[in-house]
Structure 1
Amino acid sequence: MANKIVIVVQARMASTRLPGKVMLPILGKSILALMTERLQMISHEATIVIATSENAEDDVLVREAQSLGLPCYRGDQHNLLDRHYQAALKYGADVVLKIPSDCPLIDPRIIDGVLDYFFENDTFDYVSNLHPATWPDGNDVEIMTMPCLKKAWQNAYKPLELEHTTPYIWENPQLFNIGNVSWQTGLDYSMSHRFTIDYREDYLFIKTVFEALYQVNKNFSCNDIINLLNTEPGIYQINAQYAGVNWYRHHLNELKTIQPGQTKQAPEVLATSNLK
């Protein structure tokens, strides 16, 4: 089985809620740098590609990729499915991973676990840990074969399918052999714990976690974060108001496989914490 793995990390500077979030600093590095460092800790050999837009504002991400020694692909600003496919095609992928750039705390062990499951069951077109999700939000792993991605690229047309890359696949289980990996603890923290970045409070949470754990062990785990939050519950509270908030909330009337309990609306009034 051909198995050249390409991890495509979609990144951009434009963000309605938190502009430039992937370049925000933590411990003297950008969030993007810290995240790709964690991706490089997986045991599987993989090529990591930063996929950004052709907009001038994203030139900084090209320079950051170059400084990190990572290849970069530039494509359509809005059609992320096309950008994902073209990046995978350019770098000769047989197996493609989608890891969002807003997951800087992602646990390399979780990525390895989903990859192991994918390769041990070589009949799958697509495997994720999101349908349904069980790990804390921000440990998102989606794996697909290149033929699977190509089929989505050829057939998807809805705006949400183009913007979010993979919905055409997991919304059409009759067309693809789909697998899912759940947290082996039997717990479900997907709606209660938020390790992703979209708001200022998320940045403060992630910054605090890195400051507490990174200098002790750069390869800290999801369990290490949870133990930290159990010990210091005040850290959990930094962004707890956004736990369970995700993009599904905007498309519940369109998504067939997503239930209302898998998302929630964002609080109307944002907290006023500063980026310090």
Structure 2
Amino acid sequence: MSLAVIVQARMGSRHVEGKCLEALGERSAILRCLDRCARIPSADLVVAAIPDIESDDELAEEILDSGYMLVRGRENDVLSRYAKAAREADCETVMRVNGDSPFIDPDICQRVFDLYSRSGADYAANTMPAAFPDGLDCEVFSADLLARADREAEWARDREQVTPWMRSHPELKTANLTGPGGAIARMRWTVDYAEDFDFCAAVYAELGERAADVSAAELVALCLRRPDLVAINAMHADAERAAGSETAAIVTAPMSLKLAV
């Protein structure tokens, strides 16, 4: 089945305007995310889906200049933007990734795709419950289901957040790749606040360009060795993130993020 990894991104932000174009080492934050998505073994295509407004033109130029496919759509109706991207990609299966994830892990994404493929689920993710560090989220579903959601979803939350409609329909089978939980799940590797970007920049300062390829397990090990790094954005950690998330019908055993010795 053809798989398109569709990454949503925008210049606007409540906390860090233009965060996608901030530099992490030699490349922008959005390109760090797209580059990692391109390394997912089953990915046939990586597509950036961004708003079709003037303030995102610079972001569009950055993406196109780097050779990635770009689709532009409605700013606040992200569901329709995803559906448009899937149509233009002409794919059978969609993986959703958020562009504020510069440390998205290709192996974890591949495992979610494999779970989707072998379980017969309509929707697979690693957030039901949320037990990985924040910033590793991915979801997989068919392009047909995405098109159905685009036709039928009416609530603003469903259209802004893309997948709540899928998760709320009991006839749809859901599956979850379970993370390690505990203190590791409270680590924050996403970029939403200035302190989040400071954390990412500190990782690049520590590792140099090796940070572009660091695995989730290696980053966990670094964070455990360097609690000062975790403290940079710990004030924004969502203690209720796991408790407030849904539970899938199919749940795997927790995946370890310990380095092999």
For the criterion TM > 0.5, the same-fold answer is: yes
Cα distance, 1:191 vs structure 2 = 5.0
- Between the aligned partners of 1:11 and 1:170, the Cα distance in structure 2 is 22
Cα distance, 1:46 vs structure 2 = 2.2
RMSD over equivalenced CA pairs, Å: 2.1
Cα distance, 1:224 vs structure 2 = 0.9
**Structure 1: where are the runs of 5+ without partners?**
259-276
1:180 to 176, 199, 213: 176
Question: Aligned runs of 1:145-160 on 2, under 5 Å?
Answer: 145-160=142-157
Residue type of the partner of 2:162? T
- Other structure's SS at 1:99 match: strand
Are residues 227 and 192 of structure 1, via their aligned partners in 2, closer, same or farther at CA, if it must alter by over 3 Å? same
Q: Does 1:134 align with 2:168?
A: no
- Between the aligned partners of 1:73 and 1:213, the Cα distance in structure 2 is 33
Where do 4+ consecutive residues of structure 1 move more than 6 Å?
Answer: 245-248
Q: Is the 8 A contact 1:49 1:70 kept in 2?
A: yes
Aligned residues: 247
2:58 corresponds to which residue? 60
Are residues 56 and 246 of structure 1, via their aligned partners in 2, closer, same or farther at CA, if it must alter by over 3 Å? farther
2:191 to 174, 197, 206: 197
1:206 corresponds to which residue? 200
Are residues 44 and 213 of structure 1, via their aligned partners in 2, closer, same or farther at CA, if it must alter by over 3 Å? farther
Cα distance, 1:214 vs structure 2 = 4.6
- Other structure's SS at 2:229 match: helix
Cα distance, 1:247 vs structure 2 = 9.4
Cα distance, 1:84 vs structure 2 = 0.3
Cα distance, 1:150 vs structure 2 = 1.5
- Other structure's SS at 2:32 match: helix
Q: Indicate the percent of aligned positions where both proteins have the same amino acid.
A: 27
Question: Aligned runs of 1:103-118 on 2, under 5 Å?
Answer: 103-118=101-116
- Between the aligned partners of 2:112 and 2:229, the Cα distance in structure 1 is 28
Question: Aligned runs of 1:41-60 on 2, under 5 Å?
Answer: 41-60=39-58
Q: TM-score, normalised by structure 1?
A: 0.84
Q: Which has the higher helix share?
A: 2
Greater RCO between the two (CA within 8 Å, min separation 6)?
A: 2
Residue type of the partner of 2:218? D
**Structure 2: where are the runs of 5+ without partners?**
248-261
Q: TM-score, normalised by structure 2?
A: 0.89
